[in-house]
Each structure stands twice: as C-alpha cells, then as structure tokens.
C-alpha cells in the first residue's frame, strides 16, 4: 500500500473534489483551501471550508495552517451573513463523516441549529454559492 492509500487521500471524497474528479459549487479557492456549498445542506447556504492538504484531525494540523483556515472561515461566515441574512452562522470542525478536516458553516435562520439535511440539486447549490461568492472579500 502506498502512502496515499494509507492516508486515505486516494478514496477521500474531498480530495476527489479538490482534484476536480467530483463536481462542486465552488465559492472560493486558493493554493491551500477550497470553499464549497455543502451538497447535503441542513440549511440554505451551508458551506464547507476544506484544506487541500489531507488531514483527518484538526489538531494534528500545523498551528499556522489551522489559523489560516479559521481566518478564511471568518471571511466565509461574514459573506454568508451578508448574502443570506441568517440570525447567525455557526461553525463545526469536522472530520468524521468524511475523514478529511473541514469547517462546516451552518447558517441558522431560527433559534435552533439543524445539522442534518437532504441532498440538494447542483442548480440550487450554484445559485446559493454565487450569492455567497459575491460577498467574499477575497473574490
């Protein structure tokens, strides 16, 4: 087994998105991160901030990489707030359902946070992603 297989990169869904093997509604991308609309949103505008470097646990990341991710999460959350006007946007750092670190941003439109959703169409994802993208300071 090669190193890629041991780390899970070969079969990782997010690594496939990063490599362009799986389509996504992209909001932002740079050399280190990709930001996409979550294909299973619990609420409109649920967004994923994904490091391109495959890592399964956030606190094994280099501190500087983690801080860069959180800085981008801040910008994306502000863009969601400006574009979609939720009551607030909540963050969950993940790596279980897909074993690749990612920040999941949940716009909350009511006084509770719904965490599970159904698969959304690419057209609706692209429309919502476009609205958020328009509000990104780096776009």
The reported pTM is 0.81
Has 102 been annotated as catalytic? yes
Which residue out of 54, 100, 102, 106 is catalytically annotated?
102
* Pair 13, 98: CB distance under 8 Å: yes
Beta strands in 12-138 (DSSP E): 26-29, 33-37, 47-51, 88-94, 102-108
Q: What pLDDT does 112 receive?
A: 65
Per-residue pLDDT of the chain (139 residues; tens, 9 = 90+): 233 444 577 889 999 999 999 999 999 999 999 999 999 999 999 999 999 999 999 999 999 999 999 999 999 999 999 999 999 999 999 888 899 999 999 999 987 666 667 788 989 889 988 888 888 886 5
Domain made up of 3-134: CATH architecture: 2-Layer Sandwich (3.30)
Name which of 76, 51, 83 is nearest 138 in CA terms: 76
Domain boundaries, the chain: 3-134
Token pair 């698969």 is at which residue?
119
Q: What pLDDT does 86 receive?
A: 95
Q: What pLDDT does 88 receive?
A: 94
């Amino acid at each position: 087994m090669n190193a890629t297989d041991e780390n899970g990169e070969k079969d990782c869904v997010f690594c496939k998105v990063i490599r362009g093997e799986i389509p996504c509604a992209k909001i932002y991308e740079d050399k280190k991160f990709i930001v996409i609309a979550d294909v299973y949103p619990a609420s409109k505008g649920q967004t994923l901030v994904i490091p391109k470097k495959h890592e399964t646990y956030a606190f094994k990341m280099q501190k500087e990489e983690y801080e860069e991710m959180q800085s981008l999460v801040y910008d994306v959350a502000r863009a969601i707030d400006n574009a979609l006007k939720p009551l607030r946007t909540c963050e969950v750092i993940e790596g279980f359902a897909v074993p690749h670190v990612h920040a999941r941003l949940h716009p909350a439109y009511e006084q509770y946070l719904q965490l599970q959703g159904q698969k959304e169409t690419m057209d609706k994802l692209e429309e919502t992603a476009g609205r958020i993208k328009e509000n990104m300071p780096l776009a």
